[in-house]
A = this chain, B = another copy of it.
């Protein structure tokens, strides 16, 4: 029985992944609350900061959401004074999205808070197991699943 798997709910991979992800999101949200953002918004900030100045549509692609969803996300962040939008000078259809000074500060504190949340989630694992977990997840995500 090299590939032993039973049918208990608690041992199904989908159950373990869902529960772990929910726990991570909960820890993240609580760590970020004092900063005034949630997990989702931190992801947007990271995506904005992670490359060249970007249009809303490019940002939506990076994050894997619809452009209409992106509008609502940016409305919220702009309302908080964390991001700014202004039309691209060469193509005025596009909105270039950038972090404000406050936004850069929020990003910095947000990443630190999220690091702490990750540390808490992994607290029951040895450092080696924690590293291995992260690496295995990265391998799975980067390995395109054959859609047979």
- Cα(A10)–Cα(B142), bound, Å: 10
CB distance from A24 to the nearest CB of B (A): 5
Chain A residues bordering chain B, tally (CB within 8 A): 59
With A14-B21, A134-B16 as given contacts, are A139 and B124 in contact (CB-CB < 8 Å)?
yes
Number of copies: 2
- Cα(A128)–Cα(B8), bound, Å: 21
CB distance from A10 to the nearest CB of B (A): 8
- Flag A34-76 by CB within 8 Å of B: 1 or 0 each: 0000010001001101100000000000110000000000000
Find out whether the CB atom of B24 lies under 8 angstroms from the CB atom of A17: yes
Which residue in chain B gives the minimum CB-CB distance to A133?
B136
